[in-house]
Structure 1
C-alpha cells in the first residue's frame, strides 16, 4: 500500500492522501450520508475488511482544530487479474482541486497491472474516460418495500433450497465461470452473514442467489443462473421470502431483467454505466451474473 502523499489544497490547510484506517470509517460514513448514499456504518466496515482504501485528510486549521477526513476511495482485488473500484468521495469544500483525480491515480497505481472495473454516474464518467476507462454495459438500481412476485413455477424435479456447507467450493467455481474473475475471498467474506438460495433440478444446480443486509434493508446479489427465467425464479424466491421488507437489486443491462423487475414492483431509481480500464472479464457462456454484489464491489 502506498505511503501518504501531499495533495494540492488551500494555502492555509495541507491535504494528505494516505491509506485508510479502521478509525476513519465513521468519518467516511458521514461523507456518504451527506451524499444520501444508503450505506450503513456496518457496510463501510465490510468494504474496509475486503478492500484496500485511501482517504483524503485535511489538516487542522490555524485555530487549532483537528484534522478531518474529506475524501475516500476503495479498491478490491480479485486475484492478480482484476479489481473493482468504488466509494470515491471528495467533500464539497474540496471540489475542483484535482483531488478526485489524485485519488483515482492512487487507486489505479494500487491495482498494478490488473484490469479495473467501476460503475460510474454521469458526473464521474468524464474523469474516468480521461483515465482510460471505457463503457462496457449499463446498470440499473431497483428497490422497493412493496414488491410482489408470483410464486416461482419450478420445472419438474426442481426446488429452491439453502446452500449446504459442502457446496461452498462449487459456489466459488460457479462464480468464477459466470464472472470471469476469482472473487473467492470476497464471497467467503459474504458467506459469513449472507443467505444463499440454490435452484436445483434433478440434483443439478441451475443457479444461486445471495441475500444480505445492506443499506436501508436487504440486497439481492449476486444472482448467477444459466438463463433469465431461472434468475427470475431465484429473485422471486427472495422477494416472497421478505415480502414487505425493503429490498434492492442492481442488474446489468445485458441481463434483460429491467422491465420485469419494474413489473413486480422493484422500481428503477437510478441508472449508471459499467466501465473497465483494461480487458473486461469474460465469463463462461453457460452462466451469467444477473445481479451485482453491490455497485462498489461489482
Structure 2
C-alpha cells in the first residue's frame, strides 16, 4: 500500500524508551513476531530514529555500534499506511550518518535489496529462518574428551572472545547482554572452551542463538541439546545458508520458513577460520 496522504507533516527524532509501545504496535502491523520485551532488549544495546506524524510513530530504524569499526542496522519498519513515501530511505540515511566509516551489516527483507544497494550495501550471505514445535531431536556424539556443560559464572569473557573471533569484530557487549536474558551451554575440552549456544525467549516461543562452534558436528550437538530439553515448544533458529545445517533442521522437523539476505557496506571482517557462528543472535543484531 502506498502513502495515501503524503502531505502529512513528518518529523524525525531520536528513538526514546517511551516510543517502545508504539514501535511494538508498528511491528505487529507488519506481522513481525517481536514482543515488547524483545524491542526493549535491542534498544538497550543501541539507539535509533523514529519517523512521526500527527498520528504517532510511523517508522523506526535501530542501530548498534559493535566496537570501533563495525555496526549493525535493523528494526527498519514503516507503517503500511505510509509505505512508498520515502520514509524508509530517510530513516536509513539518518541512521547511517551516525556510524561514520564503520562497516555496517543488515539483513534485507525480500524486495528491499535495491534500496539498500543504493546506500552502498552489497550481499555477502543469506540467512535461513527455521522454526516449529514438532521436531525430533537426535543424540549427537562428541569427539572423545569433549563434553557439554552449563555455563559458569566466569565464562562471560571467554564467550565474548569466541563470539568476536567467529564474527571478525567485537561482539562482547551483545554477548554480555544476552547472558542476562538467556540460558547457555558450553562445549568444553579439559577446561578449554570450544564453543557455546544460548537459548532465550523471543516472540511466540524461544530462539537458539548464537551457536558458536569449530564445525558442523559440534554445532549440531549444541543445537540438539536445547531441542531435547524443549520438545513440543516453539523454537526458532536463524542460520547462514552455507552452514550445512538447513537440510538437517528440515529433517528434524524444524522447517525453513523464510530467507533473508545479509548485506554489508564496507570491508569484509577477518573471521577466525577455526571458528564460526552456525546460528545468529537475531536478524537485527546478527
Name the TM-score, length of structure 1 as normaliser: 0.92
Q: Which segment drifts farther, 223-232 or 198-207? A: 198-207
Where does residue 248 of structure 1 map in the other structure?
236
Where does residue 140 of structure 2 map in the other structure?
152
- Mapped pair 1:19 → 2:14: yes
Counterpart CA distance in 2 for 1:247 and 1:263 is 15
1:102 to 62, 83, 90: 90
2:48 to 53, 56, 66: 53
Paired residue total: 284
Q: Call closer, same or farther: CA 1:40–1:11 in 2, change over 3 Å.
A: closer
- Which consecutive segments of 4 or more residues in structure 1 shift more than 2 A? 8-13, 154-158, 201-206
- 1:97-151 CA distance string (max 9 Å, x none): 1111100000110111111000112221110011110000111000011111112
CA contact (8 A) 1:16 1:56 kept: yes
Alignment RMSD: 1.5
Offset, 1:182 = 0.6
Where does residue 62 of structure 1 map in the other structure?
none
- 1:189-227 CA distance string (max 9 Å, x none): 111121111111333322110111111111000000001
Consecutive unaligned residues in structure 2, runs of 5 or more: none
CA contact (8 A) 1:206 1:230 kept: no
Query: In structure 2, the residue corresponding to 1:165 is in which secondary structure?
Result: coil
Query: In structure 2, the residue corresponding to 1:75 is in which secondary structure?
Result: strand
Offset, 1:157 = 2.3
Query: In structure 2, the residue corresponding to 1:128 is in which secondary structure?
Result: helix
Where does residue 174 of structure 1 map in the other structure?
162
Name the TM-score, length of structure 2 as normaliser: 0.96
Offset, 1:10 = 4.8
Offset, 1:13 = 2.5
1:136-215 to 2 correspondences below 5 Å: 136-215=124-203
Q: Which segment drifts farther, 121-130 or 148-157? A: 148-157
Offset, 1:9 = 10
Find the structure with the greater CA-based Rg. 1
Counterpart CA distance in 1 for 2:79 and 2:154 is 46
- Mapped pair 1:260 → 2:248: yes
Query: In structure 2, the residue corresponding to 1:174 is in which secondary structure?
Result: helix
Offset, 1:152 = 2.1
CA contact (8 A) 2:30 2:80 kept: no
Consecutive unaligned residues in structure 1, runs of 5 or more: 1-7, 60-66
- Mapped pair 1:28 → 2:16: no
Counterpart CA distance in 2 for 1:198 and 1:282 is 24
